[in-house]
Structure 1
């Protein structure tokens, strides 16, 4: 398949070929740990990165490889590496870029687990994160210094559904000679293609919309292939000799696939954040209907958000698909297929009303997930964002009076009826 085919065609066919051994049309689950080498020379060539092939399933697996090709194609990248979760994908993205004393400038509007990962966990590597409001481009630029190695944002932010001005962020990144990393989980490549807007790397939690059925966890890291890793001495992992491969220089040797090869040969080899082939299989199946699902997610979200905005118990709705949203015009310009199916609702009754509301819902499942075919709800301040300070919660769009809704593909009128009775229960 080529990237000239339409999205609906690519989501089914990219990376999928009839199995050469059996003719099986669906990509098989290659449930194997290791692969037999043709001879000693073949084995040596694989380990020297002189030949591409399969060695050991921590590094490469045919089922996972099919998924990697499909995700890379849909995102418009030159390559992709799939791993065990979205959190793993974020560490994989930073791993070749960072070092002790280096920092990443990141949006304040992020999933709570990402804020914790960036503000707490990466300190153990000697890295740090600087959080800024990415709508304040001057603040973004002011936060960059000589030790900054990347900008990080979400295309459609979780939990608030805010939409990021990716071209503006990319312009700043280019000016400072650093990559822009965009988490495209909430948008998916159907609604947003960050690489076309100037992003260097794209990460996904495949667990969410890409799989779409709440069955597996997985992550992906997509390489645009457009960044010059040798333009400065900021990224020695990619531009300088690699001791583990007898002085091989990844960018000099692999060109626009340098980041992809490094993430497999070093990242997966040493961090071990492997995606299992069965999870890859489920995700391949899910992606086949991605555009159909996203169209319905968006359609339902618009209808539900419009209804909620008019409800007496509701203080505010953050959905960028509403004309009242300050991000509406940006969403219309940059996200023409819709602003996604994720947003938050602030209730006038505060924290207690949110708890009662969540407990009263029937069709909406109270879970720590999003992007399922089923509609989901969570009170972020007491769950996913619980570890954050009140100031961080508010900045992330997860204040105590806010609930997050992930709108599924059910009948929208049934969802509205469920929300209506739950709001009545919360008010009583």
Structure 2
């Protein structure tokens, strides 16, 4: 290997995947072990003091999971990455070192419905809160930030509508407020969008989706850019001051760019227990090996399907940012230069009832609460993933009652279109 920076296609196969030192196995083994033997008492103490890198207990770190974290970190261009049990777990893990009772985040209104519920309801039990703002209104985002704000949160390509977020603009606001910008990159993946290069501090992923790509396991990741100075103010005491939950270690001063990552392992995973299992990590490692190939096909299919839907008289609108008619099309070249992803919505002129009939009559599409699979997936968000929201929240999130969300797979595009055509005929008869 040379010292020249490696390309994405190389990193997605080789990053974090050295041959097993014991056996020479080329594929990363599944280290199905809960604990690891220390060489001696001094070695154990060094591990617990974070003076030496190694393995203690699989709730904290595991060799298979660590290989996945290293690969995701290489693709996102971060300083450090942790993996955990789901995308929702990743969001809590991202916020955990930053927040405290009475603190808030400023969050986009265009988020996955489960995230809206997590931020509007669940985090209240921790004494945290969220202010939801249309992130296209930069003045509103700026005005929402106050002395208790600890982060701004958005999605690179918003689920379900496929809207593309102006990450550099939000990063400027976050920098001005002295807080990190957290970007959920699930719908894009690092192949289509590189949030850290655009100014994000933290990137979260549901590895369940495009990174794994085959609908087999759940998982999440948090990648830290390593560029945010946690000691620049008193807003983040868990990182800047002695941490009472870890024998008084001041993570920021002691660990610099790796402070967030090590805190997330030593305190976050230790106490929250949102651990990724090694077999799940193994599936995701194998999935990532073909990420760029799959994303290219996803995007090509999505563009063809969206163009067909836009011309169909039974369809009221299509939200795909890859369409020249989209208000987000110009932004795509700056944020997602390789394509607008494969998730979008379309509205039916028959409203809610037509959407339900469409769902009930597709054959190739799978009606599931997931996205990012090689299979084409479809769902009526208002009656499922966004059902817990009121209608105003559904509309704000891009999941109005007359809207269907599709995740376009890697099948033959003509077959995808044929299935939608026959289902639309039955839904609007």
TM tier, smaller: over 0.9
Structure 1 unmatched ranges of 5 or more: none
44-53 vs 82-91, which deviates more?
A: 44-53
Provide the residue aligned with 2:239 in structure 1. Answer: 238
TM-score (norm 1): 0.99
239-248 vs 118-127, which deviates more?
A: 239-248
Provide the residue aligned with 2:387 in structure 1. Answer: 386
CA contact (8 A) 1:151 1:181 kept: yes
Provide the residue aligned with 1:260 in structure 2. Answer: 261
1:344 aligns with 2:345: yes
CA contact (8 A) 2:246 2:267 kept: no
1:57 aligns with 2:74: no
Q: 1:4, CA displacement in angstroms?
A: 1.2
Q: Aligned partners of 1:245, 1:159: CA distance in 2, in Å?
A: 40
Provide the residue aligned with 1:143 in structure 2. Answer: 144
1:297 aligns with 2:308: no
Any residues of structure 2 matched to 1:171-250 within 5 Å, and which?
Answer: 171-250=172-251
Provide the residue aligned with 2:93 in structure 1. Answer: 92
331-340 vs 9-18, which deviates more?
A: 331-340
TM-score (norm 2): 0.99
Any residues of structure 2 matched to 1:384-423 within 5 Å, and which?
Answer: 384-423=385-424
Q: Aligned partners of 2:426, 2:80: CA distance in 1, in Å?
A: 50
CA contact (8 A) 1:381 1:400 kept: yes
Runs of 4+ in 1 over 2 A off after TM superposition: none
Q: Aligned partners of 2:242, 2:136: CA distance in 1, in Å?
A: 39
SS for the counterpart of 1:345 is strand
Provide the residue aligned with 1:20 in structure 2. Answer: 21
Q: 1:14, CA displacement in angstroms?
A: 0.3
Number of aligned residues: 428
CA contact (8 A) 1:3 1:73 kept: no
Q: Aligned partners of 1:411, 1:245: CA distance in 2, in Å?
A: 53
1:364 aligns with 2:365: yes
Provide the residue aligned with 2:117 in structure 1. Answer: 116
CA contact (8 A) 1:86 1:207 kept: yes
CA contact (8 A) 1:241 1:247 kept: yes
Provide the residue aligned with 1:10 in structure 2. Answer: 11
Q: 1:332, CA displacement in angstroms?
A: 2.1
**Over aligned residue pairs, what C-alpha RMSD do you find?**
0.8
Q: 1:122, CA displacement in angstroms?
A: 0.1
Structure 2 unmatched ranges of 5 or more: none
CA contact (8 A) 1:3 1:76 kept: no
Q: 1:335, CA displacement in angstroms?
A: 1.0
Q: 1:245, CA displacement in angstroms?
A: 2.8
CA contact (8 A) 1:203 1:220 kept: yes
